[in-house]
Chains A and B, each alone.
Chain A
């Protein structure tokens, strides 16, 4: 299985801050990397597909980059509704695997 490692596991930030989350895969996954936002009690939401594609309806303050084994999710100006847990997920091979999550807190 391809292992996905996210860092940090949690971070504290303020409204308006720029936030960057890192995801590393145990082998090259080219650009088969997706990012999700998950709030407690709600369905996870796809933010970024294919490493940098912005899912329809997702605000442009979210962006993704990277290829190979190293990827980042950036939030340019953190908004109150962005406090959540973020997961990366590889789709290069099955089983699909997720990172351990990054909790973004106030």
Chain B
């Protein structure tokens, strides 16, 4: 059973870049079956999909964030990364990394394995 674990700074200053890492254990990130991605939950609000990336580098991301989002995979370390630029207080949230099925269809589908989440606060 694969497990995911997020890591990164808990505090980011406005206008800076938020950088998070997700470590994948219990199996290779180079899988033909899965996308790897990110979901966030602002305080008191619901879940928002940020984006998902396949090990080939093909990615899908939320247009509401697309110009600020970069997702990368480091297969040698079984990690994947999120970078969100020009952050504001509205980016304060719990950030989850999650595995998505659906790679064989070319689009992320159900999010079947999740990390426990990491809280990121944007504040000066």
Q: Are A44 and B101 in contact (CB under 8 A)?
A: no
Residues of chain B contacted by A87 (CB below 8 angstroms): 46-47
Q: Are B63 and A95 in contact (CB under 8 A)?
A: yes
Q: Are B49 and A97 in contact (CB under 8 A)?
A: yes
A65 at the interface (CB under 8 A from B): no
Residues of chain A contacted by B112 (CB below 8 angstroms): 46, 49, 55
Q: Are A43 and B115 in contact (CB under 8 A)?
A: yes
Give the interface size bracket for B toward A: 20 to 34
Residues of chain A contacted by B102 (CB below 8 angstroms): 91
CA distance A98 to B48 in the complex (A): 7
* B36-84 with Cβ < 8 A to chain A: 39, 46-49, 52, 60-64
> Could you tell me which B residues sit within 8 Å of A by CB distance?
39, 46-49, 52, 60-64, 96, 98, 101-102, 107-112, 114-117
